[in-house]
Structure 1
Amino acid sequence: MPDQAIADGPRTQTSLLSETRVGAYEKALLRRYALSAFTSDRGNSITLSEEALRWYDDNRKKVGLSLPGINHKLSRIHRKDDWPGLVRINITAADRATARFSVKLPLLSALQKRLDWIASTLRLTAVQSSYLGAVVRLTEIPSFQALGAAFSGRESDCDEVAADTVCKFLGQGRVGANRHRSHVRALHRLGLIEHRGRNDWAPSATVLAILSLRTFRETALRHALFGMPRRSSLTVADFEHMKEKVGNTSSILSGALTNKEKGAALLFYGAPGTGKTEFAALIGELVGAQTVFIGEMPHSDSRLELERRHEPSREDRLSHLAFSSQLASLTGRIILVVDEADDIFTGVDDDDWSSRTGSKVFMNRLVEESPAPVIFITNNPDRLGEAVLRRMLYAVEFSPISEATRRRVIQRHAMALGVSLDDMATVELSQLPASPALIEAGIRAAALAASNQEQEHSNIPRRRSDTKAAGEIAAPTAVKRPIEGQVAVTVVASLLKASGRSWDRRPSVSSPKFDPMLSNADIDLLALEDRIRQARGWSLSFLLDGLPGTGKSAFARHLASVMELEILQKRGSDIFASFVGETEANIAQAFEEAADTGRFLIFDEADSLLASRLGAERNWEVSQVNEMLTWMESHPLPFAATTNHASRIDPAAVRRFLFKVRFDAMTAVQAEKAFLRFFKRNSIGDQARQRLRKLFPLTPSDFALVSRKSLLLGIEDEAQILGMLSAEVAAKPGATIRIGF
C-alpha cells in the first residue's frame, strides 16, 4: 500500500527516503511499532494523548490495529464529539499478547535489505540493528514520522527522534531504555547516528546515502562507498627528495595488503602543501591498490548529491571509515585515507574526561583492528595524542617539495593551460615555497591575464610614438617581460603572503652570476671549486668571512650549484625565538630539514648564532652555541656559514669548519675587469682607470648596484659612473674619499 494511504501529516521532507513506498513489510512494521507504543506502559492501563488517539482512529483500519479498550473509548468520543487532552484506557493481557505475537513480518522490503547489509557489514547486534532501523524510519519516512509525532508531541516532519520514543516503539520501557544506552553509544561511535543535542538522534549522512540507493546489490553499495579511483596529479619523480620514504611506504603497504594484515596504520604529517594527499593517491597506484578517501562519497544520483552537498561531519567520516574498512577486507586491495585526521582524533586522548570527544578505547581499536591499511594525514601530529601515535606502523614526515619538483609542476600546468612562461618566470616561480595547488592558481591567473591583454591590444589602434623631449632622461633599454610570467609570480607570492608563509627572497635571476675572477679570496676559488666538484657526496663545511658585498653568500650559492644541491638559507631572524629552548629547536629543525630534503644549508650572519661563549652572560647564549656545534659535527651534507665578523665566532666553532675562506675588497685589476663587464665596455680611458684605482674598498656588489642605478637613470658617461662608485665607497664606515657625484 502506498504511503499516501496512511495518514502522514504535512510533507516537507526532501530526502529520497521520504518517497519510500509503505508496502507490506513497512506496513507490518508500522503496525508493530504502533502496537508496542499503545501497550508499552506497565500495569492495566495506559495514558494516551489526543494526538495518539487521533492517529489510531485514522490508521487502525489501514494498518490493521484492533485494541478493544481503545476501540471502546473511541466509540464514546465519537458519540459525544468531545476529544479529551489526555485519557486513561485499560489495557488487557490479551492486548499485550497481541502486540507481542500477532505481527508476523512478510518478505523484506528493499529498505530493510539495505539496513540488513549495513548490520551485517558492521557486525551489529540484533538490538542495534532494530534501533538503527527505527531511527531511520521515524525521522525519514512520513508515515512513521506521523506515528512518532503522535506520541512525542513534535511536528510530523521532524528529522530527529528522542531515544525514549524509539524505545517505546521497540517495546522497551524505561528499564529497557537504560539498557539501550550502550547500543546507542555503539551506533554513535560507528558514525551511524548523529547526536542532535539532549537525547535526540538522527541517522548520519552516510547511512542516508546508502539507504537512498536505488539498489541493494553489494557492487552498487561498494561503488557508493568507494567511488572511482583517484589518480594523483604528481609522479614518483616529484618525490625524489624523499626516495627512501617512498620505498619504505610502498613495501609496508604492499606487504600489509598481501598478508591481509590488521591494524596497518600509517601516518603522513607535515606542513600544508607538501604533497601528503597527492602522495597517498600515488602510493595506491604504486602498489596496485585503490585509495579511498574517507568522507568523499560520490553518487550518480544528482538529487541525492544536492541534498548531501555539505562538509562531512565527524560522524559522517567515522561511519564511512567503519563501512569502508569492513567492506575493504572483502573487496581486494583497498587503502583507506583519512585526511585531516586530527578532526576525528582531537580530544580522544584528553586526560580530562569532560573534554573528550569520543571513546578512547573505540578510537584506539579503530586504528589497531582495521582489516584494511589506513593512511592518516595531518598537519599537526601532536593533536592525535600519544596513544594513537604509538599505534602507527610507520610515520612519514613531508617537507616542502623540492625546487626541481616545482619546476616540473610549473611546466606541466603551463602546458595544460597553454601559458608561455619565460625562463626568468619559471626560475622565480620554482624558488617560491608553493604547493602544486598554489602554482596551478598562479598559472591559471596568468592565462586569464594574457587572454585579457590580447583582447585589449586588438581593440587599441596603433599610433605614432611621442617624440622624446629635449633633455629627457633616456628610458632603460631592458627587455620587457611577458605578462604571463609577471602575473604568475605575483599571484603565487600574494597567496603565500596571505597564508602567512615566509620565504627567502633570493637575488634576482637578472643579477650577474658569481664570478670567482672578481672575488679577492685568500684561497684559489677555482681550484677549490674543482676539488669540490670531484668530492661530491662528502660532508663539507665552509666558513666564509669578509666585508659586506665581497661575494660570500654568492659563493655559497655557487658551491650549491656546483654540487647540484638546492639551497636552504637561514638567517638569525629565522632561528632566534623568545622562549627558552625554542632557538635550539629551530637550529635542530634547520639541520633536519636540510638533511631530509637534501639541500645545501646556508647560515647568514653566523656570528650571531656562534658567538664566543667566553663573554656569554646568559645560559641560553651558551646552549644555542652548543646546539650548533652538535649539529655541525653530525650533519651529513655540505653547509656554509657567512659572517662579516669572524673574530666574534666561538673558537671551537671555527675549528669545526673544514674550509675557512676570507673575502677582501677587490684588487685594482679586478675592479677594472668589473667596470668593463658591468658597464659593457670594451676599454676604459687612462684618466678613468687612474680614478678607479683610487677607489677603495670596492666590492662586486658596488658594481652591481651602480650598474642597475645607471641603467635606470640612463647614465652612460664614465665620469658620472665613477662618481656613483665613489659615493658607494664614501658611504662605507671609515671611508675618507670625498663624494664626487
Structure 2
Amino acid sequence: MTTKKTTTPALDYPQQLSPIVHAWILTTILDLGGHREFIHKDFFSDDQLATAIGLDKWLNCKPPLNRADILKTLRDQQQKLLNDPATFATPYNLDLTHNLDNLKALIHLSDVECALLEFTLITYNEPLLNNALDQLGAISSDQLNRILAFLLQKTPQEIQAALSSNGALARTGLMRVHHGPSLFFRGKIDLLSRNFIEAMFSHETTPYNILKDVVSKSKPTDLSLDNFGYLKTELNILVPYLQHALDHNQKGVNILIYGEPGTGKTELARTLVEHFQVAAYEVVSESIHGEGVEKGEQRLYAYLAAQNFFCNQKSLIIFDEIEDVFFDAGADGLPNFSKAWFNHILETNQIPTIWICNDTYDIDPAIIRRFDFTFHLASPPKSERKAMLESALKGKLSPNTLNTLALSKALVPAIIDRTAKVLNTIYDDVAENFDEAATTIINGTLKAQGNPEIRVAKIGGLSDIYNPAFTNTDSNLALLAERLKVFNEARICLYGASGTGKSAFAHYLADYLNKPLLIKKVSDLMDKYVGETEKQIAEAFYEATTTGAILLMDEVDSFLRDRRSAQQNYEITMVNEMLTQMEEFSGIFIATTNLMDHLDQAMLRRFDFKVKFDYLKADQAWLLFNEQCRYLGFQSVDMNLEAEFKKMTRLTPGDFAISARQAKLGVITTPEEIVTQLVKENTLKESKGTTIGFVQNK
C-alpha cells in the first residue's frame, strides 16, 4: 500500500498523527463523550492512544489522574488544530483524494457520500482513530448518523440519506451499514473488501484494481460453442438473446445455469463470453490473498460494484456458486437482506449476468421466476463424452477403452480435464499402460464421489461393433432411427427370439440420438405389494420424461399379459397403468418381448411400430463373423468357412456375443474356433425346435 502523508507547519501536537486525524480523535474524545470511557480514575483505557495525543506524562504519574488537567490539555490541542486552516484543507493522502475524485465521477457519488467514504477508509488506515471511536462504546444506527454528522460537519439527515439502501454507496456495494443491534463503530460499517481499501490508497489505481480481490477478469477457454453441440436447442435461444441484450444495452438480463458439479457450467459461460468477444468479469469465491470470500452477502455486494464500475463497456458478468448467497437462508430465502431487494437486483442490472449453481434447492421459486432463461446442464451424452476423451487425451486411448469409459454418465468434463492434465504431463512414463492409467485416475474420482467404477474389458464384445445391418428385421432400422432424430417420439415393440438384437438396437438408438437410455427390467417394476408395481411403472415413465431418456422395458410379456386371461385383479391394473402411461408419454418408449402373442391386445394397438427380429440370414452372419474377427485381431479368415454359415439357420447376434466373451477368456483364439462355437449354438436351438412368438396376421 502506498501512502503519502502531507507535511504541515509545526504545531504543538504529536507529528505521527496527521492534523485531520488528530482533530477527529480529539473531537471524538472531547465533544462526543469518548473521554468517559477513555479517562478512568487511575488509568487510560488505551495507553497507545494516550501517548499518540500527548498524554504520556500522565502514564507514569501517581494516581489518581487529574481529569481536569488532562481535558484542558486536550482542549488546547484541539483549539490549535481548529484555528489552523491547513487542518481540514490539506488532503490526508493525495492518492486517496485522486482516487475518490475518479470514483465520484465513475459512479456519481455526492459530496456527502465522498466524505463518508473517505472518513471510513481513513479509519481502516489509522488504527488510533478507530480506537478513539471505540471509546464511544456500542452505538445504534441513529447514533452512528449523529456521530458522523458531527465529525464531518454535515446534518444527520444528510448522513442518513447517504447511508440508506437507496444511496450510491449501498447500491454499488462499496459501503454499507449494519442496522440492528448496537455495535462498535467498525462493526456498524463494512467496506467492500480489504483490497478495495488498499487500492484506494495506491497510486494510479483503476476500477478493476479496486475490485480485483472480489471480481476477476474471466479466464480464457480453449473451447468453442461447437463443443456444446448437444445443447443446440438451448444455445439457439441463449446466443441471440444475449447478443440482442449486448447490442441494445438491455437491462435486467439474467441467465441461470444449474447442474451437477463438473458438467461444464462455468466453461460454457466462459465460452459464451469468448463467442461475443466482450469484456467479462467473474465474482470470485476466493480472494487474491488466498482467503475464501466467506459471506455470500459480500459476494453479492462485489457483484453490485462490478455492475456499476463496468456498465459503460460491453461486458458480461459470471456469478458462479450462487448457493453462497442463499446458504442458511431464512424464510425470505435470503440471508441478511430481503427477497424484494434481490428481485430488484435481477430487474435492474445493467450488465447481462450468467448465474451458476449446482442445484436450485435453496433458491426461492419466486426468485427463479425472475431469471429470463433457466436451464439444466446435465452430463454430456455418450458421443460427446467420447469426443471429449479423444480430444483431451490426444487420441491415445484404445477404441475399446474409449467406448467403455464414455458409457459412464458420471464421467463429467471436469474429470476428463483433470485426467488429461495428469496423463499428458507424464505420458512417457505411462505410455505402455496408458489405458490402465486413464481408467485408474478416472475410477479414483468416481469412487470418491460414490459413483460406480468403470470396468474395461481387455477385449470388446458385440456391442462395440453393433450395426443395424447385422440384424434380420421386417423393418428398416436405419430409416426408423433417422426419422426418430426428427420426431423424437414413438412407441415401439421389438419382438423375436432371444439374442436377435432387440435390446442391442435400443442401445444403438440411444447412442445414435445422443440420449440416455433408461432400462427397466421385470425385477425393477414388479413388487409384491398391491399397487406398488403400478407406482413403479409410473415412476419409470416420469424418470424418462425428466431426464429426456429413451425408456426401455425388457421382457414385458412377463407382467403385461392379455387381460382376458388374467387370474388376479392386479394383473389388470398393471396393464391399465401401462396403457395410461403410454398414452401420456411424449418421448421414445421401447418394449421387448420373446412372446408377442401373450401381450394384451389393447396394448399392442398402442405401439406405433412393431418390429420383428428374426434369425440372421446367411450373408448377414458371414459379414458379422468377418467383422468380429477383425475386431478380435485375427489376421486372416479362411474364405471356405462361408459354406458353414449357409447351413446354420438359427444364428443370432447373441451367439456371436458368446464367442466374443469366450475369446476374452482365451478359450477361442482362431476364426475356426468361432465357427465351431456358432455351430454348437445353432445345433442346440434346432434340436429344441425353437420358434419365435408373434401374432399371426389373418
The separation in 1 between residues aligned to 2:66 and 2:545, in whole angstroms, is 78
State the match for 2:654 in structure 1.
Answer: 701
SS at match of 1:273: coil
Question: Taking structure 1 as reference, are residues 171 and 725 closer, same or farther at Cα in structure 2, changes over 3 Å only?
Answer: same
Cα distance between partner residues in 2 of 1:113 and 1:442: 49
Give, in whole Å, the separation in 2 of the partners of 1:85 and 1:617: 98
1:457 maps to none
1:104 counterpart letter in structure 2: F
Does 2:665 correspond to 1:712? yes
- 1:262 to 2:244 alignment: no
Distance 1:623 1:248, change over 3 A: farther
**Partner Cα distance (1:438, 1:391) in 2:** 33
Output one character per residue of 1:34-67: Cα deviation in whole Å (capped at 9) or x when no partner: 1232124579988724335755652336xxxxxx
Choose from 90, 95, 107 the match for 1:106. Answer: 90
> Among 329, 350, 367, which residue is 1:371 paired with?
350
Inter-CA distance 548–350: structure 2 relative to 1 (3 Å threshold): farther
Q: Using the alignment, how far apart are the partners of 1:87 and 1:560 within structure 2?
A: 91
Q: Which amino acid is 1:212 matched to?
A: E
TM-score, length basis structure 1: 0.69
Equivalents in 2 of 1:658, 1:395: separation in Å? 34
SS state at 1:82 partner = coil
Closer, same or farther: CA 54–483 of 1 in aligned 2, 3 Å: closer
Contact 1:115 1:129 in 2 (8 A): yes
Distance (Å, rounded) in 1 between the aligned partners of 2:24 and 2:573:
73
Q: Secondary structure at the match of 1:421?
A: coil
CA separation of 1:239/1:554 partners in 2, compared to 1, >3 Å: closer, same or farther? same
CA–CA distance in 1 between the matches of 2:466 and 2:275? 42
Give how far 1:501 is off.
Answer: 4.3
- Any conservation in 1 of the 2:318–2:355 contact (CA below 8 Å)? yes
Q: Deviations over 1:192-249 (max 9, x none)?
A: 4698998365686853212323334445547847654532332121122222322322
**Paired residue type of 1:209:** N
1:39 aligns with 2:30: yes
Per-residue CA deviation, residues 336-386 of structure 1 (Å, 9 max, x unaligned), is: 11111232134657258xx84432222222211112111111221242212
Q: CA 1:144–1:718 in structure 2 vs 1: closer, same or farther (change >3 Å)? A: closer
Q: 2:347 is matched by which residue type in structure 1? A: E
Q: Secondary structure at the match of 2:18?
A: helix
Is 2:257–2:356's contact at 8 Å kept on the other side of the alignment? yes
Deviations 1:136-172 (A, max 9, x none): 444453443554567769xxxxxxx998997796467
Cα distance change of structure 1 residues 617 and 328 upon mapping to structure 2, 3 Å threshold = farther
Pair 383,548 (structure 1): closer, same or farther in 2 beyond 3 Å: farther
Q: Tell me if the contact between 1:44 and 1:91 (Cα under 8 Å) persists in the aligned partners.
A: no
Contact 2:34–2:133 (8 Å) recurs in 1: no
- Where 2:665 maps in the other structure, the secondary structure is helix
Q: What residue number does 1:6 align with?
A: none
> CA distance change for structure 1 residues 288 and 492 in 2, over 3 Å: closer, same or farther?
same
SS at match of 2:88: coil
Among 166, 179, 183, which residue is 1:199 paired with? 183
In structure 1, the residue matched to 2:203 is: 215
Counterpart among 421, 438, 457 of residue 397 in structure 2: 421
2:592 aligned counterpart, secondary structure: strand
Q: Tell me the residue number matched to 1:629.
A: 582
Is the 2:533–2:574 contact (alpha carbons within 8 Å) kept by the matching residues of 1? no
Q: Per-residue deviation at 1:394?
A: 2.0
3-state secondary structure, aligned to 1:484? helix
Matched residue, 2:516: 568
Q: Separation in 2 of the partners of 1:588 and 1:672?
A: 42
In the TM superposition, what is the alpha-carbon distance from 1:503 to its structure 2 partner? 9.7
- After TM superposition, give the deviation of residue 97 of structure 1 in Å: 9.8
The answer on whether the counterparts of 2:30 and 2:71 sit within 8 Å (CA) in structure 1 is no
What is the aligned partner in structure 2 of residue 8 from structure 1?
none
Give SS of 2:193's match: helix
Residue 360 (structure 1) aligned with residue 342 (structure 2): no
Partner of 1:440: 417
Q: Which residue of 2 aligns with 1:317?
A: 299
How do residues 549-588 of structure 1 correspond to structure 2 at under 5 angstroms? 549-559=499-509, 564-572=512-520, 584=538, 587-588=541-542
- Per the alignment, residue 282 of structure 1 pairs with 271
Amino acid at match of 1:324: A
Gaps of 5+ in 1: 1-15, 62-70, 154-160, 299-304, 455-481
* Deviations 1:673-695 (CA, angstroms, capped at 9, x unpaired): 98898686655799x999x97xx
Report what 1:513 is aligned to: 465
User: What's the counterpart of residue 51 of structure 2?
Assistant: 58
CA spacing shift, 1:212–1:53, aligned 2, 3 Å: closer
Distance in 1 (CA, whole Å) between partners of 2:519 and 2:80 is 80
CA contact 2:446–2:452 (8 Å) conserved in 1: yes
When the two structures are superposed, what TM-score results if normalisation uses the length of structure 2?
Answer: 0.72
Show structure 2 runs of 5+ residues with no match. Answer: 9-16, 630-636, 691-698
Q: How does 1:525-540 map onto structure 2 within 5 Å?
A: 525=475, 527=476, 529=478, 537-538=486-487, 539-540=489-490
SS at match of 2:220: coil
Partner of 1:590: 544
Please, what is the CA RMSD of the aligned residues?
Answer: 5.5
Structure 1 contact 504–569 (Cα < 8 Å) conserved: no
Structure 2: how far apart are the matches of 1:620 and 1:183?
A: 67
Q: Distance in 1 between matches of 2:593 and 2:653?
A: 17
Q: Which residue of 1 aligns with 2:693?
A: none
Preserved contact between residue 730 and residue 736 of structure 1 (Cα < 8 Å): no
Question: Over residues 241-289 of structure 1, what are the superposed CA-to-partner deviations in whole Å (9 max), with x where a residue is unaligned?
Answer: 2223223222222222232222112212233333321221122233332
1:641 and 2:622 matched:
no
Aligned length: 641
1:389 aligns with 368
**Using the alignment, how far apart are the partners of 1:650 and 1:88 within structure 2?**
107
CA distance in 2, matches of 1:609, 1:84: 99
Contact 1:128 1:184 in 2 (8 A): no
The secondary structure found in structure 2 opposite 1:51 is: coil
Identity %: 19
Amino acid across the alignment from 1:568: P
